[in-house]
Amino acid sequence: MKIMVAIKRVVDYAVKIRVKPDKTGVETHNVKMSMNPFCEIALEEALRIKESGLATEVVAVSMGPAQCVDTLRTGLAMGADRGIHVEAARELYPLTVARVLKRLVEVENPGLLILGKQAIDDDCNQTGQMVAGLLGWPQGTFASKVVLDKEKQIATVDREVDGGLETLCLDLPAVITTDLRLNQPRYATLPNIMKAKSKPIKKYTPEELNVEIKSDLEVVQVTEPPKRKAGVILSSVDELIDKLKNEAHVV
Ligand code: AMP
């Protein structure tokens, strides 16, 4: 069985985000970019499934500008067998990404498609659900445990839901999106970084996949959250109660 993993290139989680002066988006120029952390977890899970003998190949897919190849190389250094880059200069929104993924699934025919539960740049949390809908495949979102049964061709997925854990049984092929506690992604070792340089990355344009890059949503404005006021240290409980009563008016 082949596993396809969607990995997105995003602003690194440790970077302090700056909004562009014209409020059209966030600054990405000269900013460290990395693989979306939930996508690292998705790739790690695919690699563990392959290492346990339940899959034969892991294919990493990334869509966006030419620099996505760097993200794919990181994925190849972690252990993916090959990469697919769908080059698109403009920003892609979840429905377009889902349409491209659907076409790639038709070309590649994987038994499992694993995505991050959300990208930390747009926080959309939509792509996995949309591609499952477009493919008509079952979906296990926010997975914190995945167990495959090759003979029965099912995946048992524990999902993190508000009240605790929900366990689902999905017929394969299926879509899974990963939550934080699913696993701890590995670091790429130096020898594997070197090996990754010779692993293949296939390039497609959206036109070659017959997907029109159009968006049915428009970002009107991006603004910074209001600055938090500085806190004050109070000297006694009485002072706190006085402030809650007479300033905050909450008691
Ligand atoms: P989102 O719905 O935007 O929060 O993204 C959820 C997941 O969809 C990500 O964690 C990725 O697995 C996948 N994804 C979204 N955009 C891309 C992209 N441009 N390239 C590859 N995967 C993507």
Residue nearest atom 16 of ligand 1, based on CA coordinates: 8
> Rounded to whole angstroms, how far apart are CA atoms 105 and 195?
26
> Rounded to whole angstroms, how far apart are CA atoms 227 and 99?
38
| Three-state secondary-structure class, residue 11 | strand
Q: Does ligand 1 lie within 6 Å of residue 88's CB atom?
A: no
Q: Does ligand 1 lie within 6 Å of residue 213's CB atom?
A: no
Q: Does ligand 1 lie within 6 Å of residue 178's CB atom?
A: no
Q: Does ligand 1 lie within 6 Å of residue 64's CB atom?
A: yes
pTM of the predicted model as reported, rounded to 2 decimal places: 0.91
What is the position in ligand 1's atom list of the atom closest to the CA of 123? Answer: 4
Residue 123 CA to ligand 1 center (angstroms) comes to: 10
On the question of pLDDT at 70 being above 90, the answer is yes
On the question of pLDDT at 216 being above 90, the answer is no
> Rounded to whole angstroms, how far apart are CA atoms 142 and 158?
8
| Three-state secondary-structure class, residue 89 | coil
- Tell me the pLDDT tens digit for each residue of 183-210: 999 999 999 999 999 999 999 999 999 9
Model confidence at 147, pLDDT cuts 50, 70, 90, reads: very high
Q: 189 is written with which tokens?
A: 């070792």
Indicate the top mutation candidate among 36, 87, 101, 176 to test ligand 1's pocket, ranked by most ligand atoms within 8 A of CB.
Answer: 36
Angle at 171 between CA 184 and CA 156, to 5 degrees: 35
Strand partners, 86: 63, 204
